[in-house]
Structure 1
């Protein structure tokens, strides 16, 4: 079996690429020949690069049938497509072999790729349609350049009306993603729900003292709700003065958050660590007492949540998108309403109650091991591949 994972980039820029990297590693261990291929369109030209740099090819889209990718195909080859929204490239892949589409985010059924109205910071509950053109300007939910807006809308229309009928299967990473895809018009029987996974980590030392550290790891964007978390943390400090908030990540709104932290006089109680690699994420989650996941846009899933759970950390989050697939209120963490005061109350509750933190942390770890470990995910994925190939 040979699987080509197709994406629009090779570098690890976010959760999608983390998923590709870890999936390829897991498949290789299981004897599956898996490779990461980046396709980038430049007008009528496509650039093709392989993850191991053995393929670097550029040519006309119409010539993809004579590319190294096409030459490597046999009867046990399939394409697993991730974040790629280019109808011309998809048509060529459909000509070359069976294609699975992985829906990591709403790009397949939302022109704005986020189901989020940035102006009012509210979740869009409408399936895509002509209203998207108006909302791009009134709600800033999509690129407002007319040519780009039309391009993104056309990509979504192609995915829903054409590509969804040609994919061998479509993988949704959460129940939310599946439901929104169906509401947009994608046939339900085309979709399989397969949650993200995280790697097994050693059993936490449950008796070790825990500093009152709240961890946040993610993109520094208002969609991630960090502005609400900072307001909430200012309230937390009034009741738990020794609390600390550690923030790992970079993003286009980071300077806004730096200024907000200064305006709130948070001082050394909040630390911005900048971008961090896998080791840095692991270190932060391991030393924290809990993890805050305050996204206000509908996260398709939220890998940071299950990474925290695997390390025995309860998570405090807003109930948006696919978060409820992994966070269970009062069992593996706490849901709070989208309000700084209510978020602060949930954080203070956990900081002040070690027994509750221990209980939720142990239950979070147990659920992560049984539901979100690599083995069940990869076994289901290989089974899906074999079903598509008929082997």
Structure 2
């Protein structure tokens, strides 16, 4: 089968990009001819673009325009469809660089949209307000009134939304990353929706736990990720277990504020700020973690860091939001706590850091669950089934 993948970025950086690259590899290993079209831009400087085709992309102020109408993406895709003649097109993220202008080209091709964020129902893709609370409004004037968008960006992104609404029927199927995400999309009229969990690469189990007790976090340093809550909870842990340490991997616009908060809480000497790491570097640092925390405040569509921790054999404490209750088995592979609840998070951390045997047991259970339910092979096979399904709708 000839398969064309589309994604805004073709770099081995964020979770969506790693997923699309590993999917391409998995499909090629099964004998399929697979190519990837992305923009030429990288979200992180000096990172190689690994796509087969690259169109124009930008992370300057022009992006608000090009993500709405990108003629380069249209022209490249038109030529690729003519030359490559794919049997199926798989679109992942496209409303940040490639733009809805590509959609009319796909109306006569078997095509699915794997939505990695909520851009189909929210211009920011997150369905959260600037204060971190969930957004219950429909897209429109509410985005301006709530302060989610500036007037210029609001005007242009409303045009983008109109183009998406006009051409979204080019997709034969929408794929969500979790059932929680599926429910949100269907509540906004996006149908039909199927669910395919992200895949996590298999790796050897981490070494046995050893001192000092180590907590890990990986993700953007932004409001919705809940790092502030983690720091406040960790301060309570340090008061009871002074030898505890916290690894924080990631970068973001809250870095300075979080560093200042750590100093105010008196825990700076217990924290190691790792910055952005490649997946290999991150796994090397996190091999010694007793527990990994995912303190998100918003309904994340999935949770790659959760399944990666489980595959490593690390117990997980996660907020009970988004897809996390579908991934973490409460009391077996880790703990689920209410979002923004410092006390509950601190208590869960204390329970594992004072009981390494329980942390080991939960980590092993998580690894078994990751191998069974969240492997890359399982994801790739599931997509092949969906490709066949939409292909047969055209050519049966």
- Unmatched segments (≥5 aa) in structure 2: 42-47, 58-69
- Report if aligned partners of 1:36, 1:50 keep a CA contact under 8 Å in 2: no
Pairwise mapping of residues 292-331 of structure 1 onto structure 2 (< 5 A)?
292-331=293-332
CA–CA separation in structure 2 for the residues paired with 1:54 and 1:258: 40
Pairwise mapping of residues 345-360 of structure 1 onto structure 2 (< 5 A)?
345-360=347-362
Pairwise mapping of residues 153-192 of structure 1 onto structure 2 (< 5 A)?
153-159=158-164, 161-187=165-191, 190-192=192-194
- Unmatched segments (≥5 aa) in structure 1: 42-48
Task: Report Cα offsets for 1:59-85 as digits up to 9, x if no partner.
Answer: 9569738954133232x5222111112
The alignment partner of 1:148 has SS state of: helix
CA–CA separation in structure 2 for the residues paired with 1:63 and 1:33: 22
Structure 1 residue 317: deviation in Å? 1.2
Structure 2 partner of 1:45:
none
Structure 1 residue 53: deviation in Å? 5.4
Task: Report Cα offsets for 1:23-68 as digits up to 9, x if no partner.
Answer: 1111111112222211589xxxxxxx98455666899569738954
- Report if aligned partners of 1:331, 1:360 keep a CA contact under 8 Å in 2: yes
CA–CA separation in structure 1 for the residues paired with 2:361 and 2:53: 49
Structure 1 residue 9: deviation in Å? 2.3
1:136 pairs, out of 140, 144, 150, with 144
Task: Report Cα offsets for 1:179-230 as digits up to 9, x if no partner.
Answer: 010011112xx21100111011113444x53531100011111111111111
CA–CA separation in structure 1 for the residues paired with 2:236 and 2:73: 59
Pairwise mapping of residues 108-123 of structure 1 onto structure 2 (< 5 A)?
108-119=120-131, 121-123=132-134
- Report if aligned partners of 1:213, 1:289 keep a CA contact under 8 Å in 2: yes
Structure 1 residue 157: deviation in Å? 4.9
The alignment partner of 1:79 has SS state of: strand
Is 1:151 the equivalent of 2:156?
Answer: yes
Structure 2 partner of 1:69:
80
Alignment RMSD (CA, Å): 2.6
Structure 1 residue 355: deviation in Å? 2.4
The alignment partner of 2:318 has SS state of: strand
The alignment partner of 1:273 has SS state of: strand
- Report if aligned partners of 1:211, 1:289 keep a CA contact under 8 Å in 2: no
- Report if aligned partners of 2:218, 2:305 keep a CA contact under 8 Å in 1: yes
Structure 1 partner of 2:5:
5
Structure 1 residue 13: deviation in Å? 3.8
Structure 1 residue 309: deviation in Å? 0.4
Task: Report Cα offsets for 1:315-370 as digits up to 9, x if no partner.
Answer: 11111111112012111111112221221111111101122212211211111010
The alignment partner of 2:287 has SS state of: helix
- Report if aligned partners of 1:78, 1:98 keep a CA contact under 8 Å in 2: yes
TM-score (norm 2): 0.86
Structure 2 partner of 1:334:
335
Structure 1 residue 18: deviation in Å? 1.3
Distance 1:40-1:147 versus aligned 2 partners, 3 A rule: farther
- Report if aligned partners of 1:249, 1:275 keep a CA contact under 8 Å in 2: yes
Moved more, 355-364 or 294-303: 355-364
The alignment partner of 2:276 has SS state of: coil
Structure 2 partner of 1:35:
35
The alignment partner of 2:6 has SS state of: strand
